[in-house]
Amino acid sequence: MPGGGVGVGGGPATPAAKVKPDQMIRAKVVVALYPFKAIEGGDLSLEKGAEYEVIDDSQEHWWKVKDKSGSVGYIPSNYVKEKELLGLQKYEWYVGDMSRQRAESILKQEDKEGCFVVRNSSTRGLYTLSLYTKVPHPHVKHYHIKQNSRGEFFLSEKHCCHSIPEVVNYHRHNSGGLASRLKTSPCDRPVPATAGLSHDKWEIDPAELMLLEELGSGQFGVVRRGKWRGSIDVAVKMMKEGTMSEDDFIEEAKVR
């Protein structure tokens, strides 16, 4: 009969299972945490907050990506974060592994009442709020963000929230025991160093380098501030022969 069939032993045939199309491989999408200006041909400039599709992440420090206009090039991998893993890094006030001393320095430079950052605590998995206040004198207070048995976050047990962003939002409107309300965060997060000047550039033409003041000295040599191509800040380490291994030198050869 049309539309029918006979199974083994004369019973009705079991309908054939539908074949599902092969599952599409999802593209890895990253978000730029910092702006980056392409230096060499083959690099791609990054716009902070923009999304990029990763084409090749086989190299540790430089990934090939594609922007929304279809342009392709290499970018420093530590300037981006996978979109699905972004977490707190989408917020201007989160500064990751910044040290207590560095946080104090940046907040004091801003010199704004209620300026703050949230950073990873020295205890793994915990977070610290660093807050600048001018009362009774300019200084930085540090508060541990705690978590109760219900998994709620708080700076004061009277005001518990389901997430750290909710804690920050609450204290933007209420001091709730803090030295000040949370009012603003530093204008720009400190930009990390890149491994090399470009995805395939590890050497500088001395003619493109201008040496400036001395930053420090020691048993290995002298470090001076420099400008590459008149605009890019670099630290130039002038080594004493035989004082450092090649591997150690490469580790330090990072643009600041």
Residue 8 has what pLDDT? 46
- For residue range 58-71, what is the model confidence (pLDDT) as tens digits? 998 999 999 999 99
pLDDT tens figures, 119-162:
999 888 899 999 999 999 999 999 999 999 999 999 998 999 99
Is the alpha carbon torsion for 151, 152, 154, 158 positive or negative?
A: negative
Q: For residue 11, is it within any domain? A: no
The dihedrals phi and psi of 47, each to the nearest 5 degrees, come to -105, 125
157 and 106 in a common domain = yes
pLDDT tens for each residue of 72-87: 999 999 999 999 888 8
Cβ–Cβ < 8 Å for 164, 127: yes
Contact 145, 126 (CB under 8 A): yes
Q: How many independent structural domains does the chain possess?
A: 3
pLDDT at residue 25, as a whole number: 64
Residue 246: what are its φ and ψ, rounded to 5°?
-60, -40
Average pLDDT over residues 46-64: 94
Shared domain check, 227 and 249: yes
Give the pLDDT of residue 23.
Answer: 47
172 within 8 A of 181, measured Cβ to Cβ: yes
| Domain end position, chosen among 173, 194, 217 | 173
Q: Is residue 196 part of a domain?
A: no
pTM: 0.59
Where residue 42 sits, what CATH number does that domain have? 2.30.30.40
Question: Based on the domain organization, do 143 and 213 belong to the same domain?
Answer: no
Cβ atoms within 10 Å of 140's Cβ, excluding its own: 19
Pairwise pLDDT comparison (2 vs 78), residue with the higher score: 78
List the CATH number of the domain containing 100.
3.30.505.10
> What's the pLDDT at 19?
45
1 found inside a domain = no
Residue range 169-187: mean pLDDT, rounded: 94
User: Where a domain ends, among 65, 85, 105?
Assistant: 85
For residues 71 and 64, give the distance between their C-alpha atoms in angstroms, rounded to a whole number.
Answer: 10
Together in a domain, 80 and 94: no
Where a domain ends, among 64, 85, 106? 85
Q: Residue 71 sits in which domain range?
A: 29-85
Residues belonging to the binding site are 237
| 9 vs 243 pLDDT, higher one | 243
pLDDT of residue 108: 95
In this structure, what token pair is assigned to residue 152? 């709620």
The reply to whether 20 falls in a domain is no
Which is more confidently placed, 102 or 229?
102
- Known binding residues for ATP are 237
Between residues 158 and 21, which one has the greater pLDDT?
Answer: 158
Q: Mean pLDDT across the stretch 227-254? A: 65
